[in-house]
A and B are shown apart, each in its own frame.
Chain A
Amino acid sequence: MLVRLALHAMGTRFELVLEGDEDGPGAEAYLRAAGEVALAEVEQVDARLSLFRRDSLLSHIQRNAAEQPVSVDPETFALFELCAQVCEATEGSFDPTIAPLMRAYLLHDETATTPLLTLEQARECVGWKKRVQLLADRRIAFSAPGTALDLGAIAKGHALDLAIEVLRDAGITRALMHGGTSTVAAIGHPLGREGWPIALGAGPNAPRVLLCDDCLAVSAPGARSVQHEGRRVDHVLDPREGLPVQGALVAATLSRSAAEADAWSTALLVNADPKGLPPHMESLIGMTDQEDERVPTHWFHRPRITCTGLSGFCDIPQSRQATPLQTV
């Protein structure tokens, strides 16, 4: 039996498919109830980490952390620790302190709780290492006012991780869940198949992945954009330069943690160099040599070094080994 559920949260749509062994109304009620608890986790993360809700924990942190350290729950603190870790490993290609810059480029709508600064002021506010301190007793502090966090590149993955944990806890053995089609998490595989088949984009040449007990994240710059001073600004910014991303066309990652996959896919879009990518992760970066081309003409693949045997990218056209790769 298959049960499908969905939820609007975090400015996108989450969708969930659950497969059970048995048929009948009891089995359906059980699968649905499990799915609802998983989606309730997503709602809970949205309520906790949304930049667009004044009553979220994140808004509470933004209001207070520059004046005094703010205590947070263990789940949120673990997420901040992961942010610090990925920020360091990617040398700032992933950096949640980018929020004031996103707002300055008008990539956040009016309801955002981020301060509205000039581009110059906003650039000053970016930099996790200098701006954010994680303290004992699960407290977070900002070193200066104006600091703000945009967890948009990691929160969907975080929500999926918590949702998947709840599903496993409820005894679910086969499920696929995604947030906005860009972050995906799988439990087990569909009956009679080795994994959940997913294509990276449309067209016959799109690379694929068979996802099994694993998570996938895909980032692309063109998903949303605004006009800023007469030019198009895509929704992914380079935190190091304070400019729109000009590197890869698409970056995809695999990890057992959806949050980690999520953060790294954004980082690799900003800087197409998987140098610091943890050995348990896999990445695939699509690029082009031609200007104005929006479809990748070649792909760089970095397979898993440890944890092999899990899901992997396949059907990659014109793949090139990606280590080492020059920064673009």
Chain B
Amino acid sequence: MTSSDRRSFLKGAAGAAAAFAFQPDLSATPRSLSAPLRVGLIGAGRQGRKIMGELGKFEDVTLAAVCDSDARRLSGAKRRAPQATLYSEHKAMLESAGQLDAVFIATPTHQHRSLCEDALDAGKHVYCEAPLAHTLEDAKAIARAARAASGKFQTGMAGRSNPVYSLARSFVRTGAIRDTLSLRSQFKKKTSWRTPTSDPARDKFLNWRLDPSISLGLVGEVGTHHFDALHWFTGQYPTSVRGTGEILAWKDGREVADTVHCEFQFPGGVRSQWEASLGTSFEGEYSLLAGTMGTVKLAGTHAWMFKEADATTFEWEVYATRQQFHQDEGIILIAGATELAAQGKLKEGIGLPHPPLYYAMENFLVAVGEDSEPCCSAEEGLRAAAVAIRAAEAIRTGTEVAIPEKDFSLE
């Protein structure tokens, strides 16, 4: 990789970062919408419950309907959203709840396609959790339906709307880490990834993540978020992938790997390592972008910059809050720091005031209310899903698998 290749890896590099000028407006108070919205939720499981929790913060948004085909989950939803009308079938919800403006879809991944198509067809704005789909065919069908529809569509990626990631990205895109050398993401959580039930019929429904015929496993359910964030930072997608997946921690008859390693090749020689395991929690979940002048670490509500000794000193560094990680010292990136520093409250700004999911939902609700573009389109969702689908193929076949441009295209 030549140095000009490396530089072009970071499109729009423009010298040293102009620090605080790029900071997004970060208000801890939930944003008011231009008009009240009535929304529905399809899928009242783990993620659906989190969505319900964040929706409660928006005073102008009413969760008017909840749909789940599992009666027990639906009764749980009734407790958490007593005002909502309950449906066991999504078509009934889309038809009878005529005044719904938007629908959040948080069902098992393999159900996304028909739900997205039906919701868009019914004229609703759609927020669909990532990954969009477990097959290229389904992901492209969703992207086509979104393109043809009049409503807004947002893929529920955790990175793009995250204010602290936006800030980190502004540094990376303006050359603060200079030439990118490598990317690395990990997800570690000690969990069997299993939902308990003694009913075999419910088991198949609830434990869809462990069914290799409909689940991409970790690389799909977790990896897509990382792949999308790294694309958003670098402007690049990988061209090929190698990977391994093993069952090391949970030898309970499952067929979906609990420990996965992948290596992605980017144009120009940069490689990205991706690692996930359900057998350890060590260091949790984060992504790293390493460059010749520094490394950025992204971890949900927090982000840091680790500078090389020969990197340019920013004027604002004297005010910065730092955190020690063994022998490395990271500058804590604080969204809205200029304003907080002016009020002498810089330390209070460490960590986001809401979980990343909140910002993704806020972005969607504002896009619906103000007729603006959501931050992560269906086509972006397709691209991240395509990377995960090729990675799953590489793991399955034990070979290096190309990620052709046509995977990303709707033509």
| B211-219, B347-355, B379-387 - the one binding chain A | B347-355
Say yes or no: A37 contacts B195, CB within 8 Å: yes
28 A-B contacts (beta carbon < 8 Å):
A25-B251, A25-B252, A29-B192, A29-B194, A29-B252, A30-B196, A32-B194, A33-B194, A33-B195, A37-B196, A55-B301, A55-B355, A59-B353, A60-B353, A60-B354, A63-B29, A63-B353, A64-B28, A71-B56, A71-B57, A73-B52, A73-B56, A73-B80, A74-B80, A74-B82, A75-B79, A170-B196, A170-B197
Chain B residues with Cβ below 8 Å from A33 are: 192, 194-196
The answer, among B56, B196, B351, for a CB contact under 8 Å with A53, is B351
Say yes or no: B53 contacts A57, CB within 8 Å: yes
Q: Is B59 close to A, CB under 8 A?
A: yes
Say yes or no: B351 contacts A36, CB within 8 Å: no
Report A56-90 residues with CB < 8 Å from chain B CB.
57, 59-60, 63-64, 71-75
**What 20 new A-B contacts, CB under 8 Å, besides A37-B195, A37-B196, A55-B355?**
A25-B251, A25-B252, A26-B252, A29-B250, A30-B198, A33-B194, A47-B355, A55-B351, A55-B353, A55-B354, A59-B353, A60-B28, A63-B28, A72-B56, A73-B53, A75-B79, A75-B80, A169-B72, A170-B196, A171-B196
Q: Is the interface of B mostly helix, strand, loop or mixed?
A: loop
In the assembled complex, the Cα of A249 lies from the Cα of B355 at a distance in Å of 40
Q: Known: A54-B351, A73-B80. Contact between A60 and B196, CB under 8 A?
A: no
Chain B residues with Cβ below 8 Å from A31 are: 196
Residue of A nearest to B347 (CB): A110
Chain A residues with Cβ below 8 Å from B347 are: 110
In the assembled complex, the Cα of A283 lies from the Cα of B70 at a distance in Å of 42
Q: Is A15 close to B, CB under 8 A?
A: no
Say yes or no: B59 contacts A71, CB within 8 Å: yes
In the assembled complex, the Cα of A113 lies from the Cα of B52 at a distance in Å of 24
Q: Is A258 close to B, CB under 8 A?
A: no
Q: How far is the CB of B252 from chain A (nearest CB, A)?
A: 4
The answer, among A57, A74, A110, for a CB contact under 8 Å with B79, is A74
Report B323-371 residues with CB < 8 Å from chain A CB.
347-348, 350-355, 358
In the assembled complex, the Cα of A208 lies from the Cα of B353 at a distance in Å of 44
Q: Is A48 close to B, CB under 8 A?
A: yes
List the 8 closest A-B pairs by CB distance, nearest first.
A33-B196, A33-B194, A34-B196, A29-B252, A170-B196, A54-B351, A55-B355, A63-B28
Say yes or no: A36 contacts B53, CB within 8 Å: no
The residue among B72, B347, B350, B355 with the most chain A CB atoms within 10 A of its own CB is B355
The residue among A26, A54, A72 with the most chain B CB atoms within 10 A of its own CB is A54
Report B6-58 residues with CB < 8 Å from chain A CB.
28-29, 46, 52-53, 56-57
Q: Known: A73-B52, A74-B79, A171-B198. Contact between A32 and B192, CB under 8 A?
A: yes
In the assembled complex, the Cα of A179 lies from the Cα of B59 at a distance in Å of 34
Q: Is B98 close to A, CB under 8 A?
A: no
Q: How far is the CB of B410 from chain A (nearest CB, A)?
A: 36
Say yes or no: B350 contacts A54, CB within 8 Å: yes
Chain A residues with Cβ below 8 Å from B280 are: none
Q: How far is the CB of A142 from chain B (nearest CB, A)?
A: 15
In the assembled complex, the Cα of A53 lies from the Cα of B194 at a distance in Å of 28
Chain B residues with Cβ below 8 Å from A28 are: 252
Chain B residues with Cβ below 8 Å from A36 are: 191-192, 194
Chain B residues with Cβ below 8 Å from A110 are: 347
The residue among B29, B53, B251, B352 with the most chain A CB atoms within 10 A of its own CB is B53
In the assembled complex, the Cα of A169 lies from the Cα of B194 at a distance in Å of 15
The answer, among B29, B53, B194, B251, for a CB contact under 8 Å with A64, is B29
In the assembled complex, the Cα of A27 lies from the Cα of B82 at a distance in Å of 35
The residue among A30, A55, A72, A73 with the most chain B CB atoms within 10 A of its own CB is A55
Chain A residues with Cβ below 8 Å from B46 are: 40
Residue of B nearest to A53 (CB): B351
Residue of A nearest to B355 (CB): A55
In the assembled complex, the Cα of A47 lies from the Cα of B300 at a distance in Å of 13
Report A163-212 residues with CB < 8 Å from chain B CB.
169-171
In the assembled complex, the Cα of A59 lies from the Cα of B353 at a distance in Å of 8
Say yes or no: A48 contacts B53, CB within 8 Å: yes
Residue of B nearest to A60 (CB): B57
Q: Known: A73-B56, A74-B80. Contact between A54 and B353, CB under 8 A?
A: yes
Q: How far is the CB of B300 from chain A (nearest CB, A)?
A: 9
Chain A residues with Cβ below 8 Å from B82 are: 74
Q: How far is the CB of B356 from chain A (nearest CB, A)?
A: 9
Report B249-275 residues with CB < 8 Å from chain A CB.
250-253
In the assembled complex, the Cα of A29 lies from the Cα of B252 at a distance in Å of 7
Q: How far is the CB of B52 from chain A (nearest CB, A)?
A: 7
Chain B residues with Cβ below 8 Å from A54 are: 301, 348, 350-353
In the assembled complex, the Cα of A36 lies from the Cα of B206 at a distance in Å of 14
Chain B residues with Cβ below 8 Å from A73 are: 52-53, 56, 80
Q: How far is the CB of A157 from chain B (nearest CB, A)?
A: 19
- What 0/1 readout, one digit per residue, does chain A (139-175) give for beta carbons within 8 Å of chain B? 0000000000000000000000000000001110000
Chain B residues with Cβ below 8 Å from A59 are: 353
Q: How far is the CB of A21 from chain B (nearest CB, A)?
A: 11
In the assembled complex, the Cα of A160 lies from the Cα of B369 at a distance in Å of 40
Q: How far is the CB of A123 from chain B (nearest CB, A)?
A: 23
Residue of B nearest to A36 (CB): B191
Chain A residues with Cβ below 8 Å from B253 are: 25-26, 29
Chain A residues with Cβ below 8 Å from B52 are: 73
Report B71-87 residues with CB < 8 Å from chain A CB.
72, 79-80, 82
Chain A residues with Cβ below 8 Å from B195 are: 33, 37
The residue among B196, B252, B347 with the most chain A CB atoms within 10 A of its own CB is B196
In the assembled complex, the Cα of A242 lies from the Cα of B392 at a distance in Å of 60
In the assembled complex, the Cα of A72 lies from the Cα of B192 at a distance in Å of 31
Q: How far is the CB of A7 from chain B (nearest CB, A)?
A: 9
Chain B residues with Cβ below 8 Å from A170 are: 196-197
Chain B residues with Cβ below 8 Å from A29 are: 192, 194, 250, 252-253
Chain A residues with Cβ below 8 Å from B250 are: 29
Q: How far is the CB of A84 from chain B (nearest CB, A)?
A: 20
In the assembled complex, the Cα of A37 lies from the Cα of B197 at a distance in Å of 11
Chain A residues with Cβ below 8 Å from B194 are: 29, 32-33, 36
Report A295-317 residues with CB < 8 Å from chain B CB.
none
Q: How far is the CB of B18 from chain A (nearest CB, A)?
A: 26
Report B198-226 residues with CB < 8 Å from chain A CB.
198
- What 0/1 readout, one digit per residue, does chain A (248-270) give for beta carbons within 8 Å of chain B? 00000000000000000000000
In the assembled complex, the Cα of A170 lies from the Cα of B352 at a distance in Å of 34
Chain A residues with Cβ below 8 Å from B348 are: 54, 113
In the assembled complex, the Cα of A110 lies from the Cα of B353 at a distance in Å of 16
